Amino acid sequence: MQGYVRKDGRKGIRNVTLVVYLVECAHHVASRIATSFGDSVQLIGFSGCAPNDYAEHIMRQLCSHPNVGGVLIVSLGCENFQRNALRQHIIDSGRPAEIIVIQEEGGTKKSIEKGIAAVSHIISQTAKTKKAEISWSDLVIGTVCGGSDATSGITANPSVGSTFDYLVDHEATCIFEEPGELVGCENMLRQRGRTPEVGQQLYDCILKADAYYKKMGHDSFSAGNAVGGLTTIEEKSAGSYCKNGSRTIEALICPGEIPGKPGLYMMDVVPDGEARWGFPNINDNAEIMEMIACGCHIILYTTGRGSVAGSSISPIIKVCANPVTYRNMEDDMDVNAGRIISEGVTLTDIRNDILECIQQTANGIPTKSERLGHQEYSLGYKSFNCIGPTTTR
């Protein structure tokens, strides 16, 4: 596998240029700039005007992700987001970065024109990025699930769990999350912590999620899950638990916290403190972007009902649990784990399919969602006690 070498020693499997808007008022201008370059330039942003440490931290991590080569920042000019600090962070990471301030450029038309020229210049610089061989130990792989059904916990999820075991054994870094879909599994998680302290943190994370969901009057069980044959959140949790495999869990991390060494990690997505921000994640792409902010090069996305969502920055590999769904949505699915049901293949067979797909993706072959141009993205407000270069956990 070949990757792009970054200043901090990490290696990326893509070399994308980002256009980043810092408030919803700048979204249109940023979108026009990005779409001028087709799928080669990706658009992300933060819609809020009020300040939020979590959002600024996640944005810094995304803009200095190993899959990112350079960044254009698009600011309206009066939002609270610290645009100059973000630009300096990107430059310090060894990447080209420029800023367009709409109020200073003279409005929409002039800002778009200047932005297109700026992106063209950035692309010419990122094209010179050095490449080098990468191995499993250079990769960070995440996993999420969406549109789960009764097949998820017997095909796709355990296949990804087996893949995680293989990757961890070969010194890759693997991250799972969704504490709201692990209710009932807290004791099993506690037993797998690297230390008793880590085990207790994992246990407490699930209790926090359970209390949060009860306080807000919702949980992670959807109508689509029920139509797909699942009956309770505990049943869904048992299937979701299979995704993380069986290896020791090194630590509990926050969104945007980059693991310091290879191994298996759990990411906490539920805000700390009182339940005051609404849904912990308003859609699957919010948690995907948090995992990417933790350094994930690739996300393994399991689905039984079917999902068409992709992501910005890091490729999504869809592992389809249901053979009927795969037949109906083959253009969107990368791996057919439903063959366990329809053809009698083993979990190891599907694990090998997933590993092959990871290698192809890391070598630059587009995933199904990349070919279709999916670049979904979501970033909202949250609050954590461990946001920043150090953790209080």
Q: How confident is the model at residue 96 (pLDDT cuts 50, 70, 90)?
A: very high
**pTM of the prediction?**
0.93
Distance CA 297, CA 11 (A): 9
Q: How confident is the model at residue 220 (pLDDT cuts 50, 70, 90)?
A: low
pLDDT at 149: 82
Residues composing the chain: 393
| pLDDT tens per residue across span 336-357 | 999 999 999 999 999 999 999 9
Q: How confident is the model at residue 231 (pLDDT cuts 50, 70, 90)?
A: low
Q: What is the mean pLDDT of residues 325-344?
A: 97
Q: Exposed/middle/buried for 320, CB within 10 Å: 0-12, 13-18, 19+?
A: buried
Helices (H) and strands (E) in the chain, counts: 15, 14
Both tokens of 185, joined, read: 């599994």
